[in-house]
Chains A and B, each alone.
Chain A
Amino acid sequence: KNQVEQSPQSLIILEGKNCTLQCNYTVSPFSNLRWYKQDTGRGPVSLTIMTFSENTKSNGRYTATLDADTKQSSLHITASQLSDSASYICVVSANYGQNFVFGPGTRLSVLP
C-alpha cells in the first residue's frame, strides 16, 4: 500500500534555531517527492521537489535530502524565523504522476 509517514507530528523551536523534519515513504513506482509549506487556512506552497537521482536540494534556508534506497527524505530549516510556523507536508508522486500520496504533515511552531 502506498503510504507516506512524517515525524515528528509537531515541533516547537525557538527563533534562530535549526530543525529537521522527516518523511518516510513506501510508494511505488516512485516519481518524485515534494515538500510543501502550508500556513493555517491557506493552500500548500511548494518548497522543493526531489527526483530519484537527486540527493540534496536547497531553496534558501530550506534544504531537502532524499535517500531513494531507504525511501527517506528530510527537510532541514536553518536559522528559523517566526514566519516558518506552519505545517510541512511531504507529498510523493507515484505512477508517473497519476497518484499523489500525502503525508500527515509536521506542525512547526517557532517561538520568539
Chain B
Amino acid sequence: DTEVTQTPKHLVMGMTNKKSLKCEQHMGHRAMYWYKQKAKKPPELMFVYSYEKLSINESVPSRFSPECPNSSLLNLHLHALQPEDSALYLCASRLIGQSGANVLTFGAGSRLTVL
C-alpha cells in the first residue's frame, strides 16, 4: 500500500457544525502532516505529528483540532469554522529515520466548503 487516503473528498458545513476530516496510511510512515491550500496557492503547513505526538503547530486557530490516535491515522476536527476556512485540506506523510525519509506523500485532499 503506497497511498495516503483522505475522507471525505468533499465536505460542506455550516459555521455551527462539528465535523472531522480523516487521513489514513499504511506505509509505516511515522510523520503525518495537515496542509491547507487555497486556490492557486501552494499548500500551507498547519500541523505535524511525529511518532503520534504533535511536533509543529503553525499558529493554527483552535477551531481546528488535530488528533493522531495511532501511527496510521490522522484526524482534523472542525468546529465553529468561518467561510474563509473553505479550502482544500491535504494530508501528507513521510518515513522517519531511513533512506528516502525526506519526501512527502500526499493524499488526494478533502475539499471543505463553509457556509
Contact = CB atoms under 8 A, between A and B. Distances in A.
A43 B103 contact: no
- Do most interface residues of chain A lie in helix, strand or loop, or is the interface mixed? strand
B101 interface: yes
Contacts, number: 46
Nearest to B108: A43
- Do most interface residues of chain B lie in helix, strand or loop, or is the interface mixed? loop
Given A91-B104, A97-B101, A41 B109 contact: yes
Contacts of B96: 97
A15 B72 CA distance: 41
Q: Which 9 A-B residue pairings sit nearest by Cβ, starting from the closest?
A: A97-B102, A102-B42, A43-B106, A93-B102, A43-B109, A43-B108, A31-B102, A44-B106, A43-B107
Interface of B: 4, 6, 40-43, 45, 88, 90, 94, 96, 101-109, 111
Interface of A: 31-32, 34, 36, 41-46, 49, 87, 89, 91, 93, 96-97, 100, 102-105, 107
22 contacts: A31-B102, A34-B103, A36-B106, A41-B109, A41-B111, A42-B108, A43-B90, A43-B107, A43-B108, A43-B109, A44-B90, A44-B106, A46-B105, A91-B104, A93-B103, A97-B96, A97-B102, A97-B103, A103-B42, A104-B42, A105-B40, A105-B42
